[in-house]
Structure 1
């Protein structure tokens, strides 16, 4: 019987270098004839077959791969920056230098325009580079001065400082400044007016029910809803009556712009608009307005024609809260209790701004009957067509309140 054995090759001391070492080791581990026929090869054959030239080619391929990967990554970064830069204004110029480029711009500041609105309008008109930078400069250099309503001759590409100087001029620092924020109730507005004028609040609140004096329909119970929010500037000596008339006239102009002219429509729009500002953030005004109209238009539906607004109940109770008890929801003495009374409450519950007025005048057409703000920090509001769906959204709101103690009061 023929004996199978491996052929052993010893290293020749006279052999030259690593090549011979590798060749000797390859012979040492070489398979037998029978192993070779079975397809078994030496584990070093593949390595042994790499010539110096092949190794150079492999290194070159590896280097080329890394270069290609780096280029692809760089292109991807550039594409991401290109797509995000316009959104976040990364490369936006924040200010111009000097007094302008010589191109005149006729600029109008309307009664009630806030500083934020003025800044945005200046940027849109090309007068300043950035509204945010303008407001920062204004707060730093002219916080004690006010931009009066009127027409101004400005220029394109003015620095924020130059534009502010033109707008405030050599203004008397003792001029009267009045701010009426959104959602401000009439009693708070009366106090703000009294503080601005330096008079007792009774000098202002005495006009509360003098609707004829300001041309307000008698359907309204008082001036609530007509004291348009905004920033106002008045000359020293302006009376409380004239201040109120200015605010009321601003509301009238907004209603007219929204094509709301009849007394019934004015009552409806101002009341709904005031509810919107307490029930939703601006991005949800129109869908919430649509849901309100669905409830009002369908008294036989699941909601029975009831608005069921916590905000209206709270107003009638004379307090500000997100939580209304079941007992309070059954209080018939509260004419703003939209859980007890169908339809709209007795009147507006605050001073609605332009965006809310426009949403109430042009609500979204939708199938919603329910809404709830599930995150009071972000204002995220969820809508539902049925009460069953709504209950799930309410659970989410309750969970948020549980996770954010003290915010749902």
Structure 2
């Protein structure tokens, strides 16, 4: 009888200890383990981050760090940390937290528009993802890639269609560039390519002209008319005489990209540079900036008219006065230059 009582006591103690152990383990896995008031917390885990780094990063957001570490090691996450952007949800348990960190890398939105050069584009993109601008610029300028896809260093920026894109925060430079190439293909669909062919231009030429149109006017509804002026000039073999190309040529020749030029002078028109459309007929070697989509579509759907000239309208700022004859244009131009002089704008 005595032995039986001892055995029963041992069994009881074992069950109690086992229950306590099981309860403790259960809590470590399934009890809420967040320590923040917001609904969610975003966490960025850079490439090469160690498990200890992750723990340090998460510590402010965890109620019990030790239980998180314990389960992370049991589930193998401690030796397989994955970089990316992750979202911690308020009230999550350790199991849910680790599942998120293992398999729910969330895309980020990358946006860019109106970049003047590849350097500017790389800098803009680098602000939004893990990569630095130098890594991006290197692949943007990869001449082997450019040649294989029909571009060169002058036209390379025309491959990047300004928009917003979903990418992983830790995307590689090559993967980002390749995604942009695919997006370029989606943008230049059969309909747009057909329109380009109908007006006698290739997609890269459309972008080059659109970059001028974009710089000439900020008024989207006016862009098809401006595009029509340049198309009229191209058809007759006239020089484009586009001031924005002169400004670009000045900056490029001096390598002073931060320079602000508000007024193009007569001496500037004589600058010997391939981008100076006052010196050379036809389109420049490449875009003078990244035009937005409205400017590209303005070229593809340019307004059919008889205008060959335009100048800023001093009575309706932001818009332009269009002329069919040089005499009429000179009259409008004279008014514009008088206004510029009255404002003391010399450069």
Same fold (TM over 0.5): yes
Measured in 2, the distance between the counterparts of 1:179 and 1:375 equals 34
Residues 1:265 and 1:396: Cα distance change in structure 2 (over 3 Å): same
State the distance in 2 between where 1:188 and 1:322 align. 21
Aligned pair partner of 1:266 in 183, 203, 209: 203
CA contact (8 A) 2:130 2:169 kept: no
Aligned length: 239
Superposed displacement of residue 227, structure 1: 1.6
**Structure 2 CA distance for partners of 1:173 and 1:249, relative to 1, 3 Å:** closer
RMSD: 3.5
Structure of greater relative contact order (alpha carbons < 8 Å, 6+ residues apart): 2
Partner residue in 1 for 2:182? 249
Q: Specify the alignment match of 1:396 in structure 2.
A: 335
- The alpha carbon displacement at 1:364 in A equals 1.4
Structure 2 residue aligned with 1:386: 325
> Mapping of 1:48-63 within 5 angstroms?
none
Residue 338 to residue 206, structure 1, CA distance change in 2 (3 Å): same
Q: Deviations over 1:195-229 (max 9, x none)?
A: 22343322111134336536632467341222211
Q: Matches of 2:185 and 2:261 in 1, distance apart? A: 30
1:178 corresponds to 2:110: yes
Q: 2:306 maps to what in 1?
A: 367
CA distance in 1 between counterparts of 2:181 and 2:332 reads 38
State the match for 2:166 in structure 1: 233
Indicate how the Cα distance of structure 1 residues 264 and 173 shifts in structure 2: closer, same or farther if over 3 A, else same.
same
TM normalised by structure 1 equals 0.51
* 1:203 is aligned to 2:123: no
CA 238–288 in structure 1, closer or farther in 2 if over 3 Å, else same: same
Question: Does structure 2 conserve the Cα–Cα contact (< 8 Å) formed by 1:186 and 1:350?
Answer: no
Query: How many Å apart are 1:169 and its aligned residue?
Result: 12
Runs of at least 5 residues in structure 2 that lack an aligned partner in the other structure: 1-38, 43-86, 90-99, 252-256
Structure 1 spans left out of the alignment, 5+ residues: 1-140, 145-167, 300-304
**TM-score, normalised by the number of residues in structure 2:** 0.59
Instruction: Report if the CA contact (8 A) 2:229-2:309 is conserved.
Output: yes
**1:93-104 map, 5 Å:** none
Whichever of the two has the greater Rg, that structure is: 1
Q: Whose helix fraction is larger, Structure 1's or Structure 2's?
A: 2
Secondary structure, aligned partner of 2:320: strand
2:220 and 2:294 in contact (8 A); partners too:
yes
Which residue of 2 is the match for residue 150 of structure 1? none
How far the C-alpha of 1:398 sits from its partner, in A, is 2.8
